[in-house]
A and B are shown apart, each in its own frame.
Chain A
């Protein structure tokens, strides 16, 4: 009779076999035909992979559509063995997928693919970002008058910026379920803003100065510095736009922070 290991040890060996493919430590403990055992184990392994693949399809539907079924299956398998989910909430799984695609040799002919994935992940992060109240505009009134240059505006938790050397927004739009995949534009270096409003994620194309401005805000620069990135009218328009769409979450002035 084979010695029976403790349950925890048995479970660990089973998890190893299912998660990274090595069944050397488990196989000696299994009764019956090794070939049959291996096939049975493969069912579990495949179920794990299928769960990850479908999770990633939920977060990256445009990438999945762009590359097709077989490619997506292989790419998500490669990514999954290398970067298994680190969090039990599968909505958080896939952060590293754009970087994986950027280095994936089989995607070399699609240099824009990783940026499309970055946009989709920004969408996902925006959707999953914590709820938070918008900036307290009434409290800001006095401060705005006294010390406007030193004021730092903080973007709402759901705001993301994706800057690409490719027309990623056109590609993304062309691959929504009701479109045939042909982008309206074939050129462009898209700077895309993502934010959540009324529980839906919105995307908008920004001009390069607008994107520079937003990047500056995101880095915590005071208005006295970021305002130089745009001309006066655009600067006002951008601040109004951010306020109107709930994209500001708080502010701080030298020394004292508010939200």
Chain B
């Protein structure tokens, strides 16, 4: 189909122009400050490691039912979010 070919061709022309304009920037960013960029905000290498004393005082296998009740910000969402249409 001729019009389809023309459409894709012109879209690709736009894409290539945009890509050629951006490519040097993207390359310049690669490898720069990798150590900082790769961690989530506020989380460095030490952020995920918990000191082995962290659990010292806590008893294991405590099956406290209250823990299963969400106590976070989802209480703000409760009853507000509607089920999606058609469900």
- Between A and B, 25 residue pairs with Cβ closer than 8 Å are A42-B60, A46-B60, A47-B50, A47-B53, A49-B60, A54-B49, A54-B50, A58-B48, A64-B72, A73-B67, A111-B83, A127-B38, A133-B27, A134-B19, A137-B23, A140-B19, A144-B13, A180-B76, A186-B82, A197-B26, A198-B37, A199-B29, A227-B11, A243-B22, A246-B22
In the complex formed, the residue of A with least CB distance to B43 is A58
CA distance A69 to B76 in the complex (A): 16
In the complex, the answer to whether A140 meets B55 with C-beta atoms within 8 Å is: no
Q: Contacts A244-B22, A246-B26; is A54 near B48 (CB within 8 Å)?
A: yes
In the bound complex, what is the Cα–Cα distance between A55 and B40 (angstroms)?
Answer: 12
Which residues of A have CB within 8 Å of B70? 66-68, 71, 107, 109-110
A174-208 at interface with B (beta carbon < 8 Å) = 174-175, 177, 180-183, 186-187, 189, 197-200
**Given that A46-B55, A112-B81, A246-B22 are contacting pairs, would A199 and B8 also be in contact in the complex, using a CB cutoff of 8 Å?**
no
- Bound CA–CA A43/B51 (angstroms): 12
Q: How many residues of B contact A (CB 8 A)?
A: 65
Interface residues on A, range: 35 or more
A contact patch SS: helix
Residues of chain A having any CB pair with chain B under 8 Å: 21, 42-47, 49-51, 53-55, 58, 61, 64-74, 90-91, 106-107, 109-113, 127-128, 131, 133-135, 137-138, 140-141, 144-145, 148-149, 151, 165-167, 171, 174-175, 177, 180-183, 186-187, 189, 197-200, 223-224, 227, 232, 235-236, 239-246, 248
Q: Which residues of A contact B77 (CB under 8 A)?
A: 66, 110, 112, 171, 181, 183
A104 to chain B, nearest CB (A): 9
